Structure 1
């Protein structure tokens, strides 16, 4: 064996910040080389395992996922490049770094054709192999980020970003539920009308979990055809060893370690529901064209505004999948049900959208907020956002929400008192007549509610 230099003892991040998350398989028939590479990489990487031959390496790949395989080219039975070509045909989901004592052009060409991303010439220094691993991890990280960014932009996924605002009892209860379930792997199903903030709640759950620094990947099941969504989720392997890039990873692999959010899950094609059920239960996937499964590390969150039990009855949604994803059902309230949160939501949208549109914010006066509070909001929080954006563009609120000096009954003081009365009575009705709860939601004292009710003979 060509003896390399002594491995460095420092563990500084000079070789890249992604090294500590890297899992590596070392394939070499020489014990000294395997142990040396493990000694170099072990303190810096998440996991380093060894294989003395291609048979052992194949078995390890069947049961584990590795980011990088460091592969000696001269192995008993077959060369490392021959084994790599075979593995690509059954599914090879790692970057291969070839170590070789021969640096001729033909070997380099064969390595590229077989799918190796780098090769290191023996004898090598410790820094050379560390730099090769760091380059590979940088490339994987950049590829993953670019794919997810491209996907989010094409799917308009940024529309659901934000945080779960509000101090109404409904939102406080939901926030407490999310806090309890955040550290657990349990699937969560968000239900509720369109525009109630199901994706924002899902992002809030992700941010509360220990996966917060990993990807949050939203998938709108209604936005893709059955063929496209299958390929997007699972990826594919091209069984053609002559091609330099023989695989396309899907969202399930790119989201590894993070959270996958299936919006409008009721629209998931029936043909894929059984496959998705198996993925959730076994945490393994088999990309199209692959003979090998890949282990997953994912949190699954789902959302729908549809009646899933009715869809099950109609045969449009699998009953076993429904029971698997309905472990914890969090119903998002309508804006009407959490009307006391409207001032905070309106203020947040006004600040955010006026900044984005680069226009002055409109004043959210007491009159405006009272009129906003008396509206039914069939489109919920999303409709409120759209109204504020439209008002900022036009420079004023629509007439029915404005508080200008126009000579109409809606702007008159008597009308304002009527608006106040309707608003308080609406909140009282939502609280089942509980005046203490209504006072809490409205942000006033119980005595104020009692005095108003006495004045109105309620």
Structure 2
């Protein structure tokens, strides 16, 4: 058993000789201390209040429950033996109600069976009283680092899956509209307001959302993109809000939702116009209350997430047709950033093409291609129905082949208005069929990788098959 602390309330920060784990995430953490001993609460609060963003305390689980309903916490330090319900009983109740954050159980009376029960109930760590400040600080550091690592790994796995169809950089460009978008991002990004990004498919809505996140105070926290059109209607609530074990057939274990992975950061809802009506109502309530209810849970859980939504649909028309809730539209459209199609800003084609060649040649490990005047003239004249994404795909395909398609710069192309569409349509077709083959013929997965809607892919495949 660790050495005893004569008077925990009198103890301050750990001595320099003590080995305290350093957690880079402690300074931004919000921690709840639950203990019926005033001396222990005072000791923990005094030790933590200079080290983390926020510390709250409660003398019993009833007071702690009220605090949890009012604000999100990253970690709970929970005493086991208290009047009324024990810490273990409350912990089981928390896990059963959908609370996913880490809990460190502390107790002066414990044996191996209690420790095993605590871990089975969902405790992240188990610390015996009396303890020194370095012991509890090390336990806190482990929990915060492990939790952050799990969330980062989850987000990175989603990023890696999205890489084959990654959105193209939008910020490169000299057109008036692109400069206006950059100015809007700089102005709106640092604010907490919800933003709705509109524009045709492939104009760079996700990149704009990432830019908003990057210039905000949330830049160090996760950016979690969600393609609402790519998630089946029957599971989208579970994907966004999480679920409890046994909440529905196939729910073998509890799972956090995307709102929880985006905690403290930005949740990007792409194709928000594709949300089912029932989910629109639930999202509206989340925006209004800043709380989510996991599927199967009895209580709501506070969340701290900035929402950025995007759509290529005309939401005003959808509202008029009764397909999208008017109140949700107004909640999302606090600030609107509209992205013009590439055909309306030809000045951006050359900067984007140069950027893509530099980026993709390095990633593919192939020599860059020269953008000659005839090639640039061709690319600038082409109407780009697929917008920036189509330009990126053309550059990638050309780099893989080692040259631009022969008919991209046909002799006399400046006078041949029909040549551009023919050449680039062929490149687009080859690229989309290649991605579809890599996805094993799974159209939903291919559409996700290509960053286009399933409807778009189906329409093109139908046209190509006659």
What are the Cα deviations for residues 267-291 of structure 1, in whole angstroms up to 9, with x where unaligned?
A: 1111100111111122111112222
2:10 counterpart of 1:3? no
2:389 aligned with 1:387: no
Once the two structures are superposed, the pairs formed by residues 403-414 of structure 1 within 5 Å of their partners are 408-410=411-413
Relative distance call for 1:409 and 1:160 in structure 2 (3 A) is closer
Task: Check the 8 A contact 2:69/2:302 in 1, yes or no.
Answer: no
The match for 2:375 is: 368
Match of 2:430?
none
Deviation at 1:155, TM superposition (A): 4.9
1:101 aligns with 2:105: no
Whether contact under 8 Å (1:157, 1:218) holds in the other structure is: no
Which of 365, 374, 378 is matched with 2:385 structurally? 378
Query: Aligned pair in 2 of structure 1 residues 280, 13: CA closer, same or farther (>3 Å)?
Result: farther
Answer yes or no: is the 8 Å Cα contact 1:18–1:137 preserved in 2. Answer: yes
Contact 2:168 2:389 in 1 (8 A): no
Shift in alpha-carbon separation, 1:175–1:102, aligned structure 2, 3 A: same
Q: Give the superposition deviation at 1:164.
A: 1.3
CA contact (8 A) 1:88 1:239 kept: no
1:311 aligns with 2:315: no
Q: Which has the higher mean CA deviation after the structures are superposed, 332-341 or 2-11?
A: 2-11
- Give the counterpart of 2:142 among 135, 142, 145: 135
1:228 CA drift (Å): 2.1
Superimposed CA distance per residue, residues 154-205 of structure 1 (whole angstroms, 9 cap, x where no aligned partner): 4559712645111111111111122221222222222111111111122112
Q: 1:43 aligned to 2:47?
A: no
Alignment partner, residue 191 of structure 2: 184
Residue 191 of structure 1 aligns to a residue whose secondary structure is: strand
Is 1:144 the counterpart of 2:140 in the alignment?
no
Inter-CA distance 370–13: structure 2 relative to 1 (3 Å threshold): farther
On the 8 A contact 2:169/2:204 being kept in 1, the answer is no
Is the Cα–Cα contact under 8 Å of residues 20 and 135 in structure 2 kept in the other structure? no
- Map 1:2-81; keep pairs closer than 5 Å: 3-4=7-8, 6-8=11-13, 14-81=21-88
Query: Which of 350, 359, 366 is the matching residue for 2:366?
Result: 359
Structure 1: gaps spanning 5 or more residues: 420-458
In the alignment, the residues of structure 2 paired with residue 79 and residue 2 of structure 1 have an alpha-carbon distance, to the nearest angstrom, of 25
What is the Cα deviation at residue 239 of structure 1?
7.6
Q: Is the 8 A contact 1:371 1:401 kept in 2?
A: yes
Structure 2 stretches lacking a partner, 5+ long = 418-466
User: Which among 119, 122, 134 is matched to residue 126 of structure 2?
Assistant: 119
- Determine the C-alpha separation between the residues in 1 that align with 2:407 and 2:203: 23
Paired with 1:381 and 1:107, the residues of 2 have a C-alpha distance of 59
Q: Which residue of 1 aligns with 2:346?
A: 339
In structure 2, the partner of 1:256 is 263
Report the equivalent of 1:429.
none
Task: Compute the TM-score of the two structures, normalised by the length of structure 1.
Answer: 0.83
Q: Is 1:163–1:203's contact at 8 Å kept on the other side of the alignment?
A: no
Within 5 Å, give how 1:199-210 maps onto structure 2. Answer: 199-210=206-217
2:240 maps to 1:236: no
**Residue of structure 2 in register with 1:441 after alignment:** none
Counterpart Cα distance in 2 of 1:47 and 1:31: 19
Conserved in 1, the CA contact under 8 Å of 2:20 and 2:138? no
Kept after mapping to 1: 8 A contact 2:221/2:265 = yes
Q: Which of 229-238 and 93-102 deviates more? A: 93-102
Question: Is 1:83 matched up with 2:87?
Answer: no
- Which has the higher Rg, Structure 1 or Structure 2? 1
- Does residue 401 of the first structure (1) align with residue 408 of the second (2)? yes
Structure 2 residue matching 1:15: 3-state secondary structure: coil
- What does the per-residue CA deviation read over 1:81-121, in whole Å, with 9 as the maximum and x for residues that have no partner? 12222333334343221112234211111211222111111
Distance across 1 between alignment mates of 2:348 and 2:195: 24
Partner of residue 195, structure 1: 202
- Does structure 2 conserve the Cα–Cα contact (< 8 Å) formed by 1:3 and 1:123? no
Q: Distance in 2 between matches of 1:157 and 1:228?
A: 24
| TM superposition shift of 1:13 | 8.3
Superposed CA RMSD in Å reads 2.5
